[in-house]
Amino acid sequence: MPILALLVLLPMIEIGLFVTLGAWIGLWGTLGIVLASALLGASVIRRQGFVTMLEVREALQMRRDPGPKLADGALTVLAGVLLIVPGFFTDAVGLLLLVPPLRAAVIAWGGRNMRLRGMVIQSGPQSRTQGDTRHADASADTIDGDFFEVDPSKRPTHRPSGWTRH
């Protein structure tokens, strides 16, 4: 029900703001703000996707939890999407989400809410979530795989493509 209310109220808020602020700043000012916010949103999305990928890769290499970096990147991308959507209210929310302390507060609030509802039980290498089917004695260093031995005396009959070593 809250999503339905949002889908009904959001366009009404945006239309009201377009009429009110459009009358105050004029047609060209309104169009300029809409275009500038869309360009800013596209720039934020382009930059943040790359930055988040690098930060998550670094966190994984350092064996740290990439969750906070992913959440921060997701909120920044959401801010970019809200800036692209035409409207003054969505632009204001998008600009607020670009402020790092506000993003951190939203992430902390979301983390508390998920823990209270039992969605996240514990984080770390021994974390268990609902529906986790791992065995209790499974080691974090176990790698499952299949192999077969190739006779080194048998050379390939085809010409190597450069993608494989022979």
What proportion of the chain, given as a percentage, has pLDDT over 70? 73
Q: In the prediction, which pLDDT does 139 show?
A: 54
CA gap 98, 56 in Å, rounded: 19
pLDDT in tens, 72-127: 888 999 999 999 999 899 999 999 999 999 998 988 888 777 755 544 444 445 44
pLDDT in tens, 36-49: 999 999 999 988 87
Name the residue with higher pLDDT: 54 or 119: 54
Contacts of 39 (CB under 8 A, 6+ apart): none
Q: How confident is the model at residue 157 (pLDDT cuts 50, 70, 90)?
A: low
Average confidence (pLDDT) over 12-16:
90
Report the pLDDT averaged over residues 153-162. 65
Residue ranges per domain, the chain? 9-116
Question: Is pTM beyond 0.75 here?
Answer: no
Helix axes 88-97, 100-116, angle to 10 degrees: 90
